[in-house]
Amino acid sequence: MSTRTPFVGGNWKMNTRLESGRSLAREVVAGCDGVADVEVAIFPPVAYILPIAGVLGKTDSRILLGAQDCSSEPDGAFTGEVSAGQLADCGVSVVIIGHSERRHVIGEDDDLINRKVRAGLGEGLTCMLCVGETLSQREAGETDAINEAQLRRGLEGVGPGEVERLIIAYEPVWAIGTGRTATPEDAQDAHAKIRGVLADLFSGDAAAAIRILYGGSVKPSNAAELFAQPDIDGGLIGGASLNAQDFLAIIDAARGIKKGGGGA
């Protein structure tokens, strides 16, 4: 039976400048020295991916380099876009797709998100698909239906051989950057339902092996109780990832939470 290694990602969004980004990466690398039981990734702004790759590459750190988005297209006349293959060339191994800011601020729909997932997987990247409901959808009792629809549409056409390169991030839109966090029980409930949808889409074994991260105002003070839930396999961290000490404390909270070995 597969076990799930916890995963903690730092989504820097459109923050940092070159030097502050480099020094943040250096602090994270230093703080992760010897951490082997959590997979850690940082997602710098695309402009800084190569310099940050340089910081990560100078050490034997196992920190993964991530990108916050990728194009749905392999190459061509798409001004301003960056393809999954170009990211892979720069050392990126994991890409966030369908983050709520891209869905709700930039206006990406499930069809585009699905094409991005397939583009990322096609280039050998691990794809972290983000799903989650807005506040009005939560209040209308639609959380599980929204998550299910975003999963089904976002993962259309993903083959069984690609499932091991999938990570899901459940990020309730109302919790992102707001200081409000889902209760561990509410988050666990959503995660368990998400795992059920994945089992239906792929298989029970595949679903048991996919990491499902929680995102939305995760902080050192609430990380441990969230990560203690049986279907929460780590977190996607925004604001708190910009402070190395906070990010490292959250990584620490994910140590030793490996799950899934007992069955399912």
* Nearer of residues 123 and 171 to ligand PGA, judged by Cβ: 171
Task: Tell me whether residue 123 is one of the annotated catalytic residues.
Answer: no
Among 131, 132, 127, residue whose Cα is nearest residue 117: 127
3-state secondary structure 202-234: CCHHHHHHCEEEEECCCCHHHHHHHHCCCCCCE
Q: Which stretch in 16-24, 46-54, 144-152, 170-178 sits in contact with ligand PGA by CB under 6 A?
A: 170-178
Q: Which stretch in 71-79, 139-147, 157-165, 236-244 sits in contact with ligand PGA by CB under 6 A?
A: 236-244
* Nearer of residues 120 and 260 to ligand PGA, judged by Cβ: 120
Q: Tokens for 186?
A: 């509410």
* Nearest distance, CB of residue 219 and ligand PGA, angstroms: 8
* Nearest distance, CB of residue 2 and ligand PGA, angstroms: 25
Ranges of H-type helices in the chain:
18-31, 49-57, 84-89, 100-101, 110-122, 135-139, 143-154, 184-201, 204-209, 220-227, 244-254
Q: Which stretch in 196-204, 225-233, 238-246, 249-257 sits in contact with ligand PGA by CB under 6 A?
A: 238-246
Task: Tell me whether residue 99 is one of the annotated catalytic residues.
Answer: yes
Question: Is there a contact between 174 and 138 (Cβ–Cβ < 8 Å)?
Answer: yes
Contact between 256 and ligand PGA per CB under 6 A: no
* Nearer of residues 120 and 215 to ligand PGA, judged by Cβ: 215
How far is the CA of 243 from the CAs of 26, 117, 177, 247, in angstroms? 12, 29, 14, 6
Question: Is there a contact between 234 and 37 (Cβ–Cβ < 8 Å)?
Answer: no
Among 154, 150, 170, residue whose Cα is nearest residue 162: 154
Burial grade of 110 (CB within 10 A; 0-12, 13-18, 19 or more): middle
* Nearest distance, CB of residue 127 and ligand PGA, angstroms: 15
Query: In the range 195-234, which residues lie near ligand PGA by CB under 6 A?
Result: 215-218
* Nearest distance, CB of residue 177 and ligand PGA, angstroms: 4
Among 49, 67, 176, 210, binds ligand PGA (CB under 6 A): 176
Among 101, 162, 171, 191, which one carries the catalytic annotation? 171
Distance CA(98)–CA(68), nearest Å, equals 9
Contact between 11 and ligand PGA per CB under 6 A: yes
Among 124, 177, 204, 261, binds ligand PGA (CB under 6 A): 177
Among 22, 39, 97, residue whose Cα is nearest residue 67: 97
Among 99, 101, 123, 133, which one carries the catalytic annotation? 99
Residue ranges in contact with ligand PGA by CB under 6 A: 11, 171, 176-177, 215-218, 236-240
Catalytic site residues? 99, 171
